[in-house]
A and B are shown apart, each in its own frame.
Chain A
Amino acid sequence: MINQQDYRGIYIHIPFCKAKCNYCDFYSVPLADGDWLEKYTRGLAAEIQQRASSYDGQPIRTVYFGGGTPSLLTPAQIETILAKLDQAFGLHSPMEITMEANPATVDQKYLRDCRRAGINRLSLGVQSFIDRELHLLGRLHSARDSEEAVQAAFAAGFDNVNLDLIYGIPGQTTGDWEYNLHRAMALAPQHLSLYLLQLEPHTPLGRKVEAGQLYMLEDEEEYQLYRTSQELLAQKNYRQYEISNFALPGKECHHNLLYWDSREYIGLGAGAVSFINRVRFRNTARLEQYLQAAGDYPLNFWQGEILEEMDEEQRWVDAVILGLRTARGINLKDFYRRFGVDLHQKYAEVIQEMKTGGFMIIRDGYLRLTPSAYFISNQILARFIQ
């Protein structure tokens, strides 16, 4: 078990995709040529070197390769990056090292090599087990590909696998969603992330909805899908530990918990966000600029834009709105120790009202939302904003 006190995480952004999904408005570059990955790996190495030189030495306990599509990296590139991280920051067991992977890009050999390179947790972007839905989302893989990828991951020796699924897809019925959940659980992954489809206006999907060619589900229907997930997953011992995340006991994602615990993290790569010494900033998202900066070492090339410089109050407000996303909730004593704020007293009225309404409880020293409140949690979180 990872000690949860005083640790940081590292996020590595791999901004390449074979093709863009219909719902995605993240920055990514269509990958035409493997050379880019080589250059990018060198760029990351340069940034790691530079960032480590001013690092305060707090232990690193999680590494997360996100994207984009990190599974476009070769095992050798992964190894290079991890070796560089170890050398620069020191990666000491127990470490959680996650990689996101697209089911269309992986086979058993590749996954075994990734595991050898150091990856010990795999997050597969399955999204759906219904081909019609995959097509609508613009995913390149089929339901069958996903199943094979999960089986390959287990065969390759992974014992900590997450599947990402999307619900609220236009046309999705409760039956469709139950089918997806059953197919997923039949594969026995350790972890499931269920995301409500978020409509972004400047995506192909967003434009279709705008044009009236597709219809998003009603709030009530989305809520029913959410409740269905909570019920079905609980029956199979998947515990909900955050608004959108479920895991078998002990298989929660520590990297994600670090975010919700409002801990600091180092973001590496083009467009990656860091939160270090109370400043949240984003590296330049433009690939050429990022790589060029890597060449101009030792410039402070990662500093694209500062998102937030937080004072003490902003720090603890963050801690509240992130901490309340988790099923465990906020340990009131720890919170007081960390920020010197007695939440129970400061928000006595709000908390009392929420308790009366059945939206919040305080148990064993933790302040938490009730599972039925998650889907309207913004209403509650907004009340804690100053």
Chain B
Amino acid sequence: MSTNNDNQKLLALDETGDNAIEAKETEGLSQGRIVFRKFLRHKGAMISIVVFALVAIFAFSAQGVGPIPGWWIYSHTASGPVTNPGGSPTWSFSNFFSLGEHPFGQDEIGRDNFARVMKGTQISIIVMLIIGGVSLVIGTLVGALAGYYRGWLDSALMRVTDGFIILPVIVVGSILGKLVGGSNGPMLGLVLGGILWTGLARLVRGDFMSLREREFVDSARVAGAGDFRIMFKHMLPNAMGVIIVNTTLLMSQAIVLEASLSYLGFGIQAPGISLGQLISEYQTSFATRPWLFWWPGLFIIIIALCVNFIGDGLRDAFDPRMKTIPSWRKMKKAERMTQKEAK
């Protein structure tokens, strides 16, 4: 078994054997399985998925969702007595590791920072998902219609897209945020999703333009399929890679956009709460209470970084030209094996 394995690695070194080994690995697998396997092999993406899941589970379970209470005793609004001087974090490493009452510290009126950061993370994730979902639907629909029908519909839809692209998203975002913002996170997400779809629409349009010339589209049409059936049953699955990858990357943009808008005062406002809003509220206390500033920022970075890496992993997985390169150590090992055999 092991010699067989090593032989495969040897083949991987050889350029002519490259395709053979890949064919062997993917033998009898559907496209979906191949992509999924490739994705599982992307270490960065796997670590990111685990970290992101942990963050999400923590944030949602600690503060609870809607009427369901969470396990953390403090709520993000209740103020209480300040435990440590200035409200500094209570966790310590003095005897083993103890969290204390307020592991992330407290603010000047004694609100628990952990509860606030968890609630903020929760809202930010919800907003991010809503933005992603809305952009996904609008972008795919616009791109599919424009790419499939071409002609006047295409130029009309593309002019609309141009209208959104012409200004920086933060500018249009501030105006719309001022309109609907306040403490309503989901509403903000809906509106921001309405401006972030443009990039996706352009890519889907490009994909659909080339897909509609393919034979399977013709054969579907000959078989009597209607336009919508062809578009969503036959062509859409072929464009899935582009859509999934770009929606993921768009979501990492979305979380930073939401935070920026909330920071500027046009997104989520107190008493509403989000990670950007927390930083905005606490930025002046950086010198005196740095923990109020560090934690929300850290969570924005963790979430955005994870989503970025997941998107990168998906892109690699969907890219058919992408070959799995054996690691440096495996290559060395294979080299040693060749030398041994040559002796």
Asked if A and B bind, the verdict is: no
Contacts from A to B (Cβ < 8 Å): none
